[in-house]
Amino acid sequence: MAKLRTNTRLWVYAFLLLLAIAMLLYLRRQVKTSKEAASLPFIERDYPEIRKEGTLRLLTGYGSGGEVQGGQLSGAIYELAKQLEKKSGLRVEIVPPDSIDLQFKPLGQLSNGKVDLFVYSSIYDAAIDNREYRHFAEKRAASLYLVQRHADSTRYISQLSALARHALTLPKGTPTTYIQKYFVKQTGDSLRIQLDTLHSAEELAKLVALGKIRYTVCTSREAERLAHLYPALDCKLPMTDSVRTLWVTRRNAPALCDSLAAWGVGQ
């Protein structure tokens, strides 16, 4: 009996020893991870440094560019850049996410000074650490609507899911990622998209009215005007929700935030 108790105690001691070793290894790993996180660069770059260099870098989350004809989605980025250049006297460089180191996430590009302002839409679920970053401003842009012909009864789309069997023609630079993600979320299907490099959004709408292409998109603000210009058009079916656009800066750049407010960014 005494021998059995001794063996039991030995097993308990061995278990406790292994548990202690495991805890030590876990704590050691946690400390190492914390040190590595603390060693990540977070640059001190505020308005004086930006002014000295003469360039403000703006990272856009809209993908490859902007709608040329002043659309309410990605076109707003270019309007923002023009506004900033005019009011600040700085050169504003628009940095698409695929043109700089892909191993860095957008917030990492802010912290290491590769960019000074991050503008992103609701398709980007960036986790914002309020201790290091600041949501400077927020806006909602117009929704997108399907442009099609009334007369094409066999091709008329009354439900978004029916569009999966057809091609949607968009002007180059339209934020196709957002449209695709919204379509998949609503229908569970993918969307066929053809990019047109020659025509603007309004020119494509005219081609739809003439029956030369089947479908394109317009913003909710453009829908009424297009339907008035081209009575053959139907612009009533929503293609997306309104797009939430947010501006993020570094928390350690208060002078830049003050300057952006003075320049009317986000208003």
SS3 33: helix
- Say if CB 59 and CB 119 are below 8 A apart: yes
Q: pLDDT digit string (tens) for 152-161?
A: 777 899 899 9
CA separation, residue 259 to residues 47, 93, 99 (Å): 8, 17, 27
Q: Look at the chain and count its residues.
A: 267
- 200-249 confidence digits (pLDDT tens): 888 999 999 999 999 999 888 788 889 889 999 999 998 887 766 778 88
Average pLDDT, the chain: 76
Contact between 65 and 175 (Cβ < 8 Å):
no
For the segment 160-185, the average pLDDT, to the nearest whole number, is: 82
Q: Reply yes or no on whether the pLDDT at 62 is more than 50.
A: no
Q: Left, alpha or beta for 198 (phi > 0: left; psi -120 to 50: alpha)?
A: alpha
CB 91 within 8 A of CB 54: yes
Q: Residue 25's pLDDT is what?
A: 67
Is residue 35's pLDDT more than 60?
no
Beta-strand runs (E) in the chain: 55-60, 91-95, 117-121, 133-141, 144-149, 167-171, 192-196, 216-219, 233-238, 243-250
Answer for the pair 233, 207: CB distance below 8 angstroms, yes or no: no
Question: What predicted TM-score, i.e. pTM, was given to this entire model?
Answer: 0.52
User: Residue 51 pLDDT > 60, yes or no?
Assistant: yes
Q: What is the model's pLDDT at position 15?
A: 66
Between 132 and 46, the more confident residue is 46
Q: How confident is the model at residue 60 (pLDDT cuts 50, 70, 90)?
A: confident
Q: What percent of the chain has pLDDT over 90?
A: 18
pLDDT score for 241: 77
